[in-house]
Amino acid sequence: MLLSPAEWRAREAAHAERADALTAGRRERAARGEKDPVDDFLYTYYSYSPSLLRRWHPGAGVELLEAADTPRAEWRWYRAGETPGSLTVDGEALEAEKAPMLRTVERILRSTSARPGQFGCFGLHEWAMVYRQREHRHPVPLRLGQEGTDAVVDTHELRCTHIDAFRFFTPDAVPRNRFAPTRETQPELEQPGCLHAGMDVYKWAMKLGPLVPGELLLDAFELARDIRRLDMEASPYDARAWGGEPVRIETPEGKAEYVRRQRAFAERSNALRGRVLEAWLGSERV
């Protein structure tokens, strides 16, 4: 695919404007030295800065006409295209250097999409991270207090399938979980009903770098932002100071709301997994 200078510059500008709007809160808080335990998670846990989100890439197999004399020519993973004066993403060089990582990403994206979602966890991974523990990761009060929080965990089964949630469980919560996720078993356990697996679509898109179009990267970021909101609303924390209304998963009504929103996120995340694979590998390999 060929993009004229007018076309790719318009997409680049639109991407930067959209990225700026999405990250405005984070940048303004950073300038004031303020923190938000809900929104800041996407920048601290994933360690990707607003400036990295702002950088637009066309994706694999696209030539940017009349781009050879722009600063983009100095960016990593770009090379001269077939048309004189053009630039294109050097997918072959990137894949040669990062082959093991890319195969892992592909395997996780494919296996997660193919697996049925599980919708009986009710977001209890966040509760397991504070179970029977007086010091907590987030400086936010517990909505039910420590004893009330522990009681919710005591009366439910923990079913977390995600290693990057499970690894933060308190020692007393670990043996209560139905699964024992590890980094090695991640491709076998990831499933689309998991909120953290949905947020991780953003991580995988970022790891693929210029192979993923910028517009798709921002779609994955928006999904992660929306999921994070539910993650904290259904958590034991009282996040009302940051604009979140509690999803009281300790009640039948709260469980029903959580599952309804969880299913919608599973659909969105699977759609994005398919789009990432198609943008990267082409429709014939998806």
Nearest to 222 by CA among 56, 18, 27: 18
**Do residues 274 and 113 make contact, with C-beta atoms less than 8 angstroms apart?**
yes
Beta bridge partners of residue 267, listed in sequence order: none
Which residue carries 């004893």 as its tokens?
147
Tell me the average pLDDT of the chain: 93
Percent of the chain scoring above 70 in pLDDT? 98
User: pLDDT per residue over 121-132, tens digit each?
Assistant: 999 999 999 999
Q: Give the other-Cβ count within 10 Å of 19's Cβ.
A: 21
pLDDT at 139 over 60: yes
d(CA 162, CA 189): 7
Which residue carries 């006409």 as its tokens?
65
- Please report how many Cα atoms fall inside a 13 Å half-sphere around the Cα of residue 144, on the Cβ side: 19
pLDDT at 286 over 60: no
User: pLDDT per residue over 74-96, tens digit each?
Assistant: 999 999 999 999 999 999 999 99
Q: What is the pLDDT of residue 285?
A: 65
- The arithmetic mean of pLDDT across residues 9-15, rounded, is 97
Nearest to 23 by CA among 209, 224, 179: 224
Q: What is the pLDDT of residue 189?
A: 94
Q: What is the pLDDT of residue 206?
A: 95
Per domain, the residue ranges of the chain are 2-121+183-285
Model confidence pTM above 0.75: yes
Nearest to 44 by CA among 185, 224, 220: 224
- The arithmetic mean of pLDDT across residues 218-237, rounded, is 95
User: pLDDT per residue over 14-65, tens digit each?
Assistant: 999 999 999 998 898 889 988 887 888 889 889 898 999 999 999 999 999 9
Q: What is the pLDDT of residue 47?
A: 84
Provide the H-helix boundaries in 158-251. Answer: 163-166, 186-189, 195-207, 214-233
Which residue carries 């990761």 as its tokens?
137
Percent of the chain scoring above 90 in pLDDT? 83
